[in-house]
Amino acid sequence: MLKTDSAKRFARWLRLAAAVSFCAAFTPASAQAPQAAIPVSVVEPLAKRVTQWDEYSGRFEAVQTAEVRARVSGFIEKIHFKDGQIVNVGDLLFTLDRRAYQLAVESAQADVARFNAQVQFNLADVDRAEPLAKTGTISEQVFEQRKSNLSIARAQLQSAQAAVRTAQLNLEWTEVRAPIAGRISDRKVDEGNLIAGGQAASTSLLATIVSRDPIHFSFDVSETDFLRYARLFLSGERASSRDVSTPVRIKLADEDGYTHEGQMNFVDNQLNPRSGTLRGRAIVDNKNDVLQPGLFGRLQLFGGESDALLIPDEAVVSDQARKIVFLVDGENTVKPAPVELGQIVDGLRVVRSGLKAGDRVVVEGIANPAVRPGAKVAPKPREVKTTAN
């Protein structure tokens, strides 16, 4: 009997507990206790006039590049440089076997002497025939023939003299000299090899030379950026998009700052129809020879000065393909704001659009998963500090 009563009381308790749980599950959210506001730190964007620098990737190129090739064929007799050394204009690099070209010079000089003698003989012959022609001793035809022989001999002499100059030039070309100043590559052909010279594309490549200082930096500007520069120019806010005196700053892959300064010196005359980009080029000093052709770098192009809003970079988060910040409205509710970002200035991120002065931007506490759009927060103001302070 006692066991039966205990079982009944236990069953009633179970039914009561289930009813209480059921009622609690369907209690309205408004009847539940409100959540505590999440503490966060907020800052107001710092208004400042900044210099705008647009960033582009590119690579360094030599101002001058020359392929060293011989103008005549022959055996390489001597190499006069060390691989990779610095050469100046006119430095002797290769010497070819000169003997065949020396013989050609001597043969051409002999032809000059022969035709010169012929000219002297024909000249004397004309001088003798002239008074005879006046007295009628010889016919006018004979006299004209002797003058013609003199003209032919003089033409042959001029041809022989030109052949001498050609032979001397070929002899001079057996010494291959540096066409530009710069750093030479390694030798492509060793001593004792027969090389092909001349003007054809099949001539033997002996070495290459690239200039060192200054050096070019080439990069591509998108069609959108080009149009933006053009609009700014039309509004008077920026120099022409083709202004080749615009300053630039460049940094290398292992550098934190833009330490190399230069200026624009060329903008192409049309956009590439395949990529939709416009090629630009800057010139940079390279006194210490650190910058080498082929190096990649990051360039900042001067884009003028403008009024901008700056915020700490840690306030920016990614939302798929766009950048956003979290703002706190007048009711202390979090709401997202898509922004367009610019470069870092004095340790702060430039916001080109999406914010206005007086907005409260969440900085500390943004990593809390509970800080999301619609959440209630307890904002604590924080001062914006720059690295210039």
Q: Residue 5 above 70 pLDDT? A: no
Higher-confidence position of 108 and 383: 108
Looking at the fold, whether 90 and 115 belong to one and the same domain comes out as no
Number of domains in the chain: 4
Mean pLDDT of the chain: 85
Domain range spanning residue 325?
38-52+307-381
Highest mean pLDDT among 139-143, 251-255, 372-376: 251-255
Same domain, 90 and 189: yes
Residue 129 lies in a domain: yes
**Least confident segment among 21-35, 141-155, 364-378:** 21-35
Question: Do 297 and 217 fall within a single domain?
Answer: yes
Q: Answer with the residue of higher pLDDT: 237 or 97.
A: 97
Q: At what angle do helices 140-172 and 99-135 cross, to 10 degrees?
A: 160
| 267 is a domain residue | yes
Q: Is 342 exposed, middle or buried (0-12, 13-18, 19+ CB in 10 A)?
A: buried
Q: Which of 337, 366, 361 is nearest to 348 (CA)?
A: 361
Is residue 47 a part of any domain in this protein? yes
* pLDDT value of residue 202: 84
CA distance 258 to 263: 13
How many helices, marked H, and strands, marked E, lie in the chain? 4, 21
pLDDT score of 201 = 74
Do residues 216 and 63 make contact, with C-beta atoms less than 8 angstroms apart? Answer: yes
Same structural domain, 299 and 219: yes
Give backbone dihedrals phi and psi of 325, rounded to 5 degrees, phi first.
-125, 160
Report the CATH number at residue 75: 2.40.50.100
pLDDT at 319: 80
**For residue 335, what are the contacts with CB-CB under 8 A and spacing of at least 6?**
326, 327, 328, 329, 373, 374
- The answer, yes or no, to whether residue 182 has pLDDT greater than 80, is yes
Last residue of a domain, one of 190, 208, 226: 208
Q: How far is the C-alpha of 387 from the C-alpha of 25, rounded, in Å? A: 54
pLDDT of 22:
47
pLDDT at 250 over 90: yes
The residue-averaged pLDDT of 9-33 equals 52
Tell me the average pLDDT across 279-291: 92
**In Å, what is the CA distance from 30 to each residue of 34, 35, 331?**
8, 11, 18
- ω into 373 cis (within 30 of 0): no
**pLDDT higher than 60, residue 328:** yes
Lowest mean pLDDT among 5-9, 25-29, 380-384: 25-29
Please give the share of the chain, as a percent, with pLDDT higher than 70. 88
- Are 219 and 314 contained in the same domain? no
- Put the strands of the sheet holding 205-210 in their side by side order: 65-69, 205-210, 182-184, 86-87
Does any domain span residue 13?
A: no
The enclosing domain of 350 has a CATH number of 2.40.420.20
With 0.85 as the threshold, say if the pTM is over it. no
Per-residue pLDDT, 24? 47
Q: Does residue 70 have a pLDDT over 60?
A: yes
User: Within 10 A of 31 (CB to CB), how many other CB atoms are there?
Assistant: 6
The rounded distance, in Å, linking the Cα atoms of 389 and 235 is 34
Q: Please indicate, yes or no, whether residues 76 and 197 belong to a single structural domain of this protein.
A: yes
Pick 381 or 12 by higher pLDDT.
381
Q: Are 191 and 288 in a shared domain? A: no
Average pLDDT score over residue span 81-99 = 95
User: Closest by alpha carbon to 98, among 115, 75, 116, 127?
Assistant: 75
**Rg, C-alpha atoms of the chain:** 43
Helix (H) or strand (E) holding 322: strand 322-328
Tokens representing 18 are 């289930």
Q: Which residue has the higher pLDDT, 18 or 273?
A: 273
18: in domain: no
Task: Give the pLDDT mean for 241-251.
Answer: 75
In a domain, 144, yes or no: yes
Are the C-beta atoms of residues 301 and 225 closer than 8 Å to each other?
A: no
Nearest to 197 by CA among 165, 161, 172, 180: 172
Could you tell me if 253 and 312 are in contact, meaning their C-beta atoms sit under 8 angstroms apart? no
